[in-house]
Chain A
Amino acid sequence: PLASKHQTLQQIFITALTYSKPRLATFWHYARVELVPPSPAEIPKAIEAVKGLIRSYQTGRLGQTTVKDAIRNGLVTTEVLMWFYIGECIGKGGIVGYDV
């Protein structure tokens, strides 16, 4: 019985591995490009983009965004803001509430 339990655990482990390997590969395939932090060369570009945003707000072009673009930008902004809360969870060492 002990030997068969060891075998079942091994089987579970192997099944988990075969299941997760291709999915991890897909995740890595996308994450390598989309989730990497900005390289030091990209940070000035980001600052330029912020200045461009401010300028477009000042010239009034921001009022001409289509509803579709506005919704898309709103969703992207919300996603960026959610990273703050993930950071807070990391900083406080827990998911729900502060463990004081």
Chain B
Amino acid sequence: MVPPVAVSPLIKTARYSALIAGIIYGKRRYDHLKPIAAEERRIEEEEKKVREEQERIAKQLAEDSILK
């Protein structure tokens, strides 16, 4: 087996600082995006309710005019 390579300390510090920076960035971005997504979902729910209401009314009108 090839003997393991002695990695330079610069590379080691760079790797692990990049790892920690990535963890921090990922956590902060997630916390930033989570309320935005919840808000969007809430708005989508409300608009969906309004849309379904309008569709129901339109269907009612269509049925009424055909049957009469």
Q: Is A19 an interface residue (CB 8 A)?
A: no
Taking CB atoms and an 8 Å cut-off, the chain A residues in 8-63 that contact chain B are 26, 29-30, 32-34, 36-38, 42-43, 45-46, 49-50
Q: Taking beta carbons and an 8 Å cutoff, which residues of A are in contact with B?
A: 26, 29-30, 32-34, 36-38, 42-43, 45-46, 49-50, 76, 79-81, 83-93, 98, 100
Q: A87-B21, A91-B30 are in contact. List 19 more A-B contacts (CB 8 A).
A: A29-B1, A33-B5, A45-B9, A46-B10, A50-B10, A80-B11, A80-B18, A84-B22, A86-B22, A87-B19, A87-B22, A87-B25, A88-B26, A91-B23, A91-B25, A91-B29, A92-B26, A98-B30, A98-B33
Residues of A within 8 A of B28 (CB): 91
Chain B: residues with Cβ within 8 Å of the partner, total of 32
Q: Main SS of chain A's interface residues? A: helix
